[in-house]
Amino acid sequence: MARILLGIVLCCLSVGLSADLSTNIASGMDSDSNSDSDTGPQCSRPIWQDEFSGRAVDTRKWQFDLGDGCHRGLCGWGNDEQQWYQPDNARVENGALHITGRRERSNGRWYTSAKLTTKGRFSARYGRFEARMKLPSGRGFWPAFWMMPQGNITWPLAGEIDILEHSGHTPETILGAIHFGREWPDNAHYSESLLAPVPWTEDFHVYAVEWLPEEIRWFVNDKEYGSVTAAEILPYPWVFDERPFYLNLNLALGGTLGGKIRNADLPGELVVDYVRVYRLNCDEDTATATKSHGSHNRNA
């Protein structure tokens, strides 16, 4: 979600669905069918998962990102976001992770929320990355489920993969994107969006990407709604196959996508039932997972 609306928009696609298809996708029913991927049988056992079945956030799997980004030279996290991230805004309850955005004063900010990352805990290259989530309803919320590359590399030279982003000002639309290209402000991004007849905030949905060599596909409730290949972003190089990426979950307030905050809509919650990572093809070792240690690049 780093500086999502800045830089060069190489290509973007907004998909409007027929009534039957969009109702099926956005109905809140989790499909039991396999995706239409031609990569072979998806493995049934995740290589990494968090079912949030404990009493607190599992710090063996996640760590908290704190503050407002100013300590990294990115006040507002590079997007004019208004929240201060703190662990108190994340809790595990009734088998789900709850990230709460509140209107409260903290460290010079008027709003608080939480951000979790597997940086330093888990990363993977290729596979299916999915989360079953219920998005918050209200103007100013900006929930995101996204991935960043390992290593101390200036954004976005090694890429960024946004699995799901959503603005409370457009509740019927979800977004997916990749970021790449040269250093800001000469960066580029490719995005896909999906417009449904009902708000995505009304129920749980499974948001996912399938990441293959030279291709990334976006899914919701096991239905593919967008894809991008290396050939489609030429003349920019496809940097996404070079290293593993780690996961991020956060609820921002305001900013370039969240927009103007309506205080009457707070507090609000991003509720996460589970996060799972799978190999795409059990016939081939197309996914590699690593437990990473030591310091990595900034998480913008």
Q: Catalytic: 202?
A: no
Spatial separation of the C-alpha atoms in residues 296 and 67, rounded to whole Å: 18
Q: Are 30 and 132 in contact (CB under 8 A)?
A: yes
Q: Catalytic: 160?
A: yes
Cis peptide before 244 (omega within 30 of 0): no
**Phi, psi at residue 75, to the nearest 5°?**
-55, 135
Catalytic-role residue among 81, 130, 165, 269: 165
Q: Are 46 and 278 in contact (CB under 8 A)?
A: yes
Q: Is 26 helix (H, G, I), strand (E, B) or coil?
A: helix
Spatial separation of the C-alpha atoms in residues 61 and 97, rounded to whole Å: 13
Catalytic-role residue among 160, 192, 210, 269: 160
Spatial separation of the C-alpha atoms in residues 215 and 229, rounded to whole Å: 4
Which token pair is 176? 């997916």
Spatial separation of the C-alpha atoms in residues 279 and 259, rounded to whole Å: 36
Helix (H), strand (E) at residue 225: strand 223-229
DSSP 8-state secondary structure symbol assigned to residue 18: P
Residue with tokens 């309506």: 262
Q: Are 124 and 277 in contact (CB under 8 A)?
A: yes
Which token pair is 163? 């699995």
Exposure string of 7-16, with b = 16+ CB inside 10 Å and e = fewer, is beebeeeeee
Q: Catalytic amino acids?
A: 160, 165
